[in-house]
Structure 1
Amino acid sequence: MNYTIKTEGLHCGHCDASVESALLNIAGVTDADADHETNTVTVECADEVTTDQLTAAVEGAGDSFKVVSIQAA
């Protein structure tokens, strides 16, 4: 399953790396690519990974990170 996550609060490469690392710690996530310039994150994961898990990982990676929307890609 592939998702595109629209975010708020990503301001630099360090922010991107924090979000990517948090997402890759979820069992079943095989790839995560955050882009602070567009405030989007693309995620590749197994079908059993839920959008709630993705949201929790992004928002847990930093105090200012927020998920605006998640769409299947």
Structure 2
Amino acid sequence: MNYIIKTEGLMCGHCDASVETALFNVAGVTDAEADHETQTVTVECSDAVSPDQLTAAVEAAGEKFHALTVEEV
């Protein structure tokens, strides 16, 4: 499955890397690419990964990071 996560709080490449690392720690995530310029994260994962898991991972990456929406694409 592929998701686009709309975020807020990503300010730089370091922020992007923090969110990507947190998402890769979710079992079943095979790719994650954050972009602070567009405030989006593109995620590829298995069907077993829920949007709630992705939201939790983004928000666990740092107190300033928030997942506003998680949309399947």
TM-score by length of 2: 0.99
Aligned length: 73
Shift of 1:7: 0.1
Q: Which runs of 5+ in 1 are unaligned?
A: none
Equivalent residue letter for 1:6: K
Q: Which runs of 5+ in 2 are unaligned?
A: none
1:11-50 mapped onto 2 (5 Å cutoff) = 11-50=11-50
The corresponding residue for 1:71 is 71
Q: Following TM superposition, where does structure 1 have runs of at least 4 consecutive aligned residues deviating by more than 4 angstroms?
A: none
Q: Give the CA RMSD over aligned residues.
A: 0.4
Aligned sequence identity (%): 70
Shift of 1:65: 0.4
Shift of 1:52: 0.7
How far apart are the structure 1 equivalents of 2:11 and 2:58? 14
TM-score by length of 1: 0.99
